[in-house]
Amino acid sequence: MMKKQKKPGDNISLKTKKNEAPAIIDWINSQTNLMDSIRYLVENEIKANGVRNLQQHVPADRGFTFGDEDHAMVQGDPKHSPEYDNVIDDEEEIDEDDIESWT
């Protein structure tokens, strides 16, 4: 049976894994507009590879871990890292409509 197709404006629910990598939780907690940040990542995936089911292209176990040194970099202010030199610091207020279920 095919899952129900989403339409613009529909809600989506997301849930973190019980053993989620700390860096992923740090990234999530660093976003002022989580849905817009996820949208940006999706837009870049579509630009690079078109619309596709990532589950057919990425391994289920990606071995994503950060050592203490890498995790400390995530904890710091990313605007001081060279890879963030061109990031525009566009503070935006959290839109209640963009907050998804993370329970």
**Residue 96's closest CA among 40, 39, 33?**
33
User: How many angstroms separate the CA atoms of 45 and 62, rounded?
Assistant: 17
Whether the full predicted model's pTM is greater than 0.75, yes or no, is: no
Q: Work out the mean pLDDT of the chain and round it to a whole number.
A: 77
The residue among 75 and 18 whose pLDDT is bigger is 18
pLDDT of 9-50, one tens digit each? 999 999 999 999 999 999 999 999 999 999 999 999 999 999
- The predicted structure's pLDDT at residue 95: 47
Chain CA centroid to CA 2, Å: 26
Residue 25 host element (H or E): helix 22-30
**Whether residue 83 has pLDDT greater than 90:** no
